[in-house]
Chain A
Amino acid sequence: MIEITNLSKRFAQQLAVDNLSFSVAPGEVLGFLGPNGAGKSTTMKMLSGFLAPTSGTASIHGFDIQKQRLKAQQLIGYLPEGAPCYGDMRVQGFLEFIAEIRGFRGAEKRSRVAKASAQLELDKVLGQSIETLSKGFKRRVGLAQAILHDPRVLILDEPTDGLDPNQKHQVRQLIQGLAKDKIVIISTHILEEVSALCTRAVIIAGGRLLADGTPLELESRSRYHQAVTLLADAAVDSSALAALPGVAGVERNERDGSLTVLASAGQVIFPQVNQLIHQRGWAVREIEVERGRLDEVFRSLTRGEAA
């Protein structure tokens, strides 16, 4: 259990994190979202014990991150933003160093290093010095370092930044495989990642919590929730669609000529739209009911904050 209570951090004049409170239970994969400068990294730095909060507290499985820092840090695997490592070390040596710091010796140390490097497919670069690696490999070394001691809490600051689509997929699978009884907190800019990976999403901007819910709940806040998008060959009477009960409006996508019929809040409009199509005999090529667009929710929530 992670408990964050009234956590604030002030840098000189700027309030980076403003009275943040929430808790995370084991088994949850929490996606931490927000524009650049929202306070995501600062919050993660406080959770990992790197920065001291200006006020408020955070505890990791009951250990206060200030008063029992070492006990809390033993439970955490942390990937800092940008995955900094000791560039002049070889991958093998670096992972062995981390394993020793985590208290593993001898055969246990070797098997931990071997397992982590296998999980992130680092076997081929174990003998290379870290500064000569590509960005993707460096990120994976950082991840290997974080999961090496099989921590109960994983805090990953932009774990898939700089990875190609295949590697992103791989890292997501890895996180999902690890997540069963752990607490995972990841920050990301990639909203599809939140839908694909997270059981819960928290949106912050200006250091304040703006939304907290499952990705589905957040998507349902979108004006596109339950909207029906259709692509027809011939002209479609959009005013007839707009007149249907429960319809809030009709938007035309200029790029491919498709129509999006928006639903009023809490309404399901697909049956009516479908019925109308059949009545009029429109030749519809594609039809899709939307769950809602997370990026649109993200923008509408955070734009007001930035202004």
Chain B
Amino acid sequence: MKQLPVIFKRELASYFSTPLAYVFILIFLVLSGVFTFYLGGFFESNQASLAPFFNFHPWLYLFLVPAIAMRLWAEERKSGSIELLMTLPVTRFEAVAGKFLAAWSFAGLALLLTFPMIITVNYLGEPDNGAIITGYLGSWLLAGAYLAVGSCMSALAKNQVIAFILAVAACFLFIVSGFPMLLDAFSGWAPQWLIDAVASLSFLIRFEAISKGVIDLRDLLYFLSFIVAWLAATALVVDLKKAD
């Protein structure tokens, strides 16, 4: 565990050593504004709530979060620095978790920078600030889930673009797994428990519950175990693919 903060610090700093961090934050803030005010109808809804803001996060993250995750391992493998990292006295867990937590903190930072939304909505009316806090928590957990998938895809592909596309595709599946159109495809032949299982994997239902202010321990556990499972897969893939 001793080395985790060292890996974390290096990884987080590396986001800011290139323009990537600033470009990402800028695009995230602009897009979340556009989605909230134009597509979400923030003013038209006439409600002091950030629901129009959070509703678009699953879709916004679908493209933005894999962009943070794609470099995590693909870059190490491409440049060969993975050989350096894996021959330093660092456990797999420390390397995988340190990198993930750096990316997750970065996503959290971008999310925190949307604080003018909170000010705006508090200025305009009297929102349920508890729901706003859980909304942020849900959004951050959602970003973590996307990042964990992206981290695994980044370990799988040496090419960052391929890592990005794989991560978008995989995350998309976890969004739509709760949609009727996908569940209908199962309903003809599959047993009910399988349909329920597929539906319960969906990010959307869990995220919506949390962002409405309902914190169910099962939803939290879902996100956390989802992240842990994908990070374990990442460690496995790193071990298998590191020398390719």
A101 contacts B89, C-beta separation under 8 Å:
yes
Interface residues in B60-91 (C-beta closer than 8 Å to A): 79-81, 83-84, 86-91
Q: Which residues of A contact B84 (CB under 8 A)?
A: 78, 80, 84-85, 145
Q: In this complex, what residue of B is CB-closest to A75?
A: B89
B46 CB-CB contact with A under 8 Å: no
Interface residues in B68-127 (C-beta closer than 8 Å to A): 79-81, 83-84, 86-91
Q: Which residues of A contact B7 (CB under 8 A)?
A: 101
Interface centre among B9, B79, B86, B89 (most CB of A within 10 A): B89
Interface residues in A30-70 (C-beta closer than 8 Å to B): 45, 48-51, 70
Count class of interface residues, chain A: 20 to 34
A89 contacts B87, C-beta separation under 8 Å:
no
B81 contacts A101, C-beta separation under 8 Å:
no
Interface residues in B1-36 (C-beta closer than 8 Å to A): 2-3, 6-7, 9-10, 13-14, 17-18
Given A50-B242, A97-B6, the answer on whether A76 and B87 have CB atoms closer than 8 Å is: yes
A93 CB-CB contact with B under 8 Å: yes
Partner of A85, one of B17, B81, B88, B243: B81
Q: In this complex, what residue of A is CB-closest to B15?
A: A88
Q: How many A-B residue pairs have CB under 8 A?
A: 64
A101 contacts B3, C-beta separation under 8 Å:
yes
B86 contacts A82, C-beta separation under 8 Å:
no
Partner of A101, one of B13, B17, B83, B88: B88
Task: Tell me, in angstroms, the Cα distance from A129 to B17 when the chains sit together.
Answer: 10
For residue A149, give the distance in angstroms from its CB to the closest CB of chain B. Answer: 10
Q: Which residues of B contact A49 (CB under 8 A)?
A: 86-87
A101 contacts B90, C-beta separation under 8 Å:
yes
Task: Tell me, in angstroms, the Cα distance from A49 to B13 when the chains sit together.
Answer: 27
Q: Which residues of A contact B90 (CB under 8 A)?
A: 70, 101
Task: Tell me, in angstroms, the Cα distance from A48 to B83 when the chains sit together.
Answer: 9
Q: In this complex, what residue of B is CB-closest to A72?
A: B89
Task: Tell me, in angstroms, the Cα distance from A50 to B91 when the chains sit together.
Answer: 12
A50 contacts B243, C-beta separation under 8 Å:
yes
A73 contacts B3, C-beta separation under 8 Å:
no
For residue B29, give the distance in angstroms from its CB to the closest CB of chain A. Answer: 24
A80 contacts B80, C-beta separation under 8 Å:
yes
B243 contacts A45, C-beta separation under 8 Å:
yes
Q: Which residues of B contact A267 (CB under 8 A)?
A: none
A216 CB-CB contact with B under 8 Å: no
B81 contacts A86, C-beta separation under 8 Å:
yes
B13 contacts A93, C-beta separation under 8 Å:
yes
A84-B84, A101-B90 are known; give 13 further A-B pairs, CB within 8 A: A45-B83, A49-B86, A50-B242, A73-B89, A76-B87, A86-B79, A86-B81, A88-B14, A93-B13, A98-B88, A100-B9, A103-B2, A129-B17
Please provide the 3 A-B residue pairs with the shortest distance between their CB atoms, ordered closest to farther.
A84-B80, A80-B83, A73-B89
